Amino acid sequence: MGIRVAIMGATGAVGQEFLSLLQERRFPIAELRLLASKRSAGKTMRFGEEHITVQELTHGSFEGIDLVLASAGGSLSKEFAPSAVKAGAVVVDNTSYFRMHPDVPLVIPEINPEDIRLHKGIIANPNCSTIIMCLPLFPLHKRYGIRRVSVATYQAASGAGAVAMQELMDETQARIEGRDFARSVIPHPYAFNLFPHNSPMTDNGYCEEELKMVKETRRIFHDDTLRITATCVRVPVLRAHSEAVNVEFEKDPDLAECYEILARAEGVQVLEDRANNRWPMPLDASGKDPVLVGRLRKDISQPNTLDLWMVGDQIRKGAALNAVQIAEKLFP
C-alpha cells in the first residue's frame, strides 16, 4: 500500500532533491502533492514519467496526506505544520523551528532512530552542518567517549538555497568580466571571498548557526555534558560543506582502529590517498549520499585528541536524504 506524500517547499533546492531521492530510493508513493508559494502555483515539476502541477500551500493542503516533507522556511513550518498534523499527517521538518522543541524528536537515523517513535506528529531534521559532523563522530564517541569538540565549518552556497547558488555563479561571472554586480541574497561579496556565517549574532558572540551545532549535537547524542565550540564560515563553493574537527576523547584513540570504525560506520566513507596528499573535497561529495572523511591524525598539542576532515553534500545527507531516511523508518 502506497504512502500519500506532500512536499512543502517543492520548488526549492531541497524540495527538488526530495523528488530525486523519492524516485531513486523507490519510496512507495500512492499520491504526491507538491506545495509551494502562490507565485509558484501552476508550475509543473517532473517526477519519473509524470509531470505534477504545483499547488499553493494552504491550511487545507494536507487532507488525505500521510507524510509531509517540509522545507519551506521556519515561519511556514510554524504556521502550517500543525495543520498537517491535525489532518492526520506526520511532518518531517527540515527547518530550524522545531529542532529544540522538547516534544519533537531531532533525528539522524544512523544515530538515534529510536527517537522517531516518540513523535507527536512532527519530527525535526537537524541542521546540515550538525548532521555532517555527527555521522562520523558518533561511532567514535561510542568507542572512546567524547569530552570536547572544536569544529570549523566551510559552508557552501547551497546552505542558503538555490537562489544563493545562482547568485554565486552570477557574481563570479561578473567579477571575471569586470562588471559591477548587485547582490540580493548574500549580504557580502561572495565570489573569490569568504566570511563568517551571516546567521543572526547572539549576545555571547556566537552566531545562530554555530549554536545550532552545539545544542543539536548534545540533543542527538543524548548528552548535555558534551563541550562543543564552533566557528562557521561561508565559502564560495556551490555545494557540499566541509568541516575541520578537533575531538578530545576520554580514552586515547587508536588511529588504526578509528579508521576501521569509520570504514564500518553507516553513512560514512573514508576517502584519502596519503601518498598523493589527496583528501575529501566538496566536488567529491556533491550529489553523493555518504559523508566523506579523511586526514585523521593525532593532535600533537594534547593527549587523547584527534583531528578529522569531513565533507558532506548539504542538500542530500545534510537535508533531503536525512528526511527521506526518517520517512523510510516511519513507513517501513
The pLDDT tens digits for 132-151 are 999 999 999 999 999 999 99
Mean per-residue pLDDT over the chain, rounded = 97
Q: Look up the CATH number of domain 130-314.
A: 3.30.360.10
Name residue 206's amino acid: Y
Q: CA-to-CA distance for 95 and 73, rounded, in angstroms?
A: 6
pLDDT value of position 294: 97
pLDDT, residue 327, reads 98
Alpha helices in 92-207 (DSSP H): 128-144, 162-176
Active-site residue 232, yes or no?
Answer: no
Where are the chain's structural domains? 3-126+319-330, 130-314
Rounded Cα distance between 130 and 255, Å, is 23
Binned at pLDDT 50, 70 and 90, residue 229 comes out as very high
Following DSSP, what letter does each residue of 154-171 receive, concatenated?
A: EE-GGGG-HHHHHHHHHH
Its pTM stands at 0.95
Using an 8 Å Cβ cutoff, are 247 and 297 in contact? no
Residue of 141, 197, 241, 258 marked active site: 241
Share of the chain above pLDDT 90, in %: 98
CA distance 43 to 53: 6
Place of cell 512532527: 122
Residue 2, SS3 per DSSP:
coil
Interval 58-66 mean pLDDT: 97
Q: How confident is the model at residue 321, as a pLDDT?
A: 98
Q: Which of 128, 134, 232, 258 is catalytic?
A: 128
CA 105 distance to own-chain centroid: 16
Environment class of residue 143 by beta-carbon count within 10 Å: exposed (0-12), middle (13-18) or buried (19+)?
middle
Check residue 173 and give its pLDDT: 98
Domain spanning 3-126+319-330: which CATH class is it, in words? alpha beta
Average pLDDT over residues 166-172: 98
Q: What is the band of 1 on the pLDDT scale with cuts at 50, 70, 90?
A: confident
The number of CA neighbours under 13 Å toward the Cβ of 166 is 7
4-42 per-position pLDDT tens digit: 999 999 999 999 999 999 999 999 999 999 999 999 999
For the question of residue 207 being annotated catalytic, the response is no
